[in-house]
Amino acid sequence: MTTLLWFITIPLVTYLLYLLAFYFIQHRMLFPVHELPPSDPALIEDAGGEIHRLEFSQGEFEVAYLPPLQNFKQPFPVLMVAHGNGNIIDDWAPRVDYMREHGYAVVLVEYPGYGRCDGSPSFDSISETMNLAYEWVEKQEQLDKNRIVLLGRSMGGGAVLTLVPKHNPIAIVLMSTYSSIVDLAYKRLLPAFLVQHPFDNVKALSEYKGMVYLIHGKADKTVPIDALNKLLTVREDATHKVYETAHADTPGDWDEFWKELEQFLKSVVFKE
């Protein structure tokens, strides 16, 4: 009997310790601000961009505004970008030239606690800043509030989808995006009630009626490909592409991705 008791108790205690550890470190895992690249605003400035600091409940956060690279007619369509959890907006400024060359203004939104921003990242604080950034875009005379495209990569997919209840972007682009944080927890044998930052992307996407473009990597171990399949269950009409790549190297060819995205958006963004 004693042996049987130990046989049951040891795995149970181990699992409870695992749950306890997850509860206290999940924020650090989800938002690894301790591992972010160093802030480098020169990357934005050298790309011809401007940094704007906006107020929110925890202080100030930043958006970077990068205008089109050619003399296009105003108001400009907007590509509003939310990056992955291991990046900052500075990293993205040199990557978006193709879209700017094709008439888009690009707005990069930073998360609380990232880069030069105040506060701490969470579902609530990211939702707040994303909504404030969207409202800032709508107030800029040179930007077309009826032609806003949202692009979210990995964690950024959840960030842009927090906008769906209040706003109606013309299209949403999700790159390597998870179905929900709860699903990621389940894969690690963790119960839903311990998840502090829900980001239910399947539910949010189901409430959006505009154009959707999804990409994912078949070899992605961080956000397995079944996340794409779950997103497609609520948006079967979504245009999607699967690469042979893992999480960090999706898309496999960025030049190809930008070209295909611009072609996908052209019919609705630049319709006559």
pLDDT single digits (tens) 163-178: 998 999 999 999 999 9
Other CB atoms closer than 10 Å to residue 129's CB: what's the count? Answer: 28
Mean pLDDT of the chain: 90
Confidence of residue 189 (pLDDT cuts 50, 70, 90): low
CATH of region 31-269, choose from 3.40.50.1820, 3.40.50.970, 3.40.50.150, 3.90.45.10 = 3.40.50.1820
Predicted pLDDT at 4: 58
C-alpha to C-alpha distance for 44 and 81, rounded to whole angstroms: 14
pTM, to two decimals: 0.90
Model pLDDT for residues 21-76, shown as the tens digit of each residue: 656 666 777 788 989 999 999 999 999 999 999 999 999 999 999 999 988 899 99
Question: Which of 152, 246, 248 lies closest to 204, judged by CA?
Answer: 152
Model pLDDT for residues 228-251, shown as the tens digit of each residue: 999 999 999 999 999 999 999 999
Predicted pLDDT at 185: 62
Which residue type does 160 have?
A: V
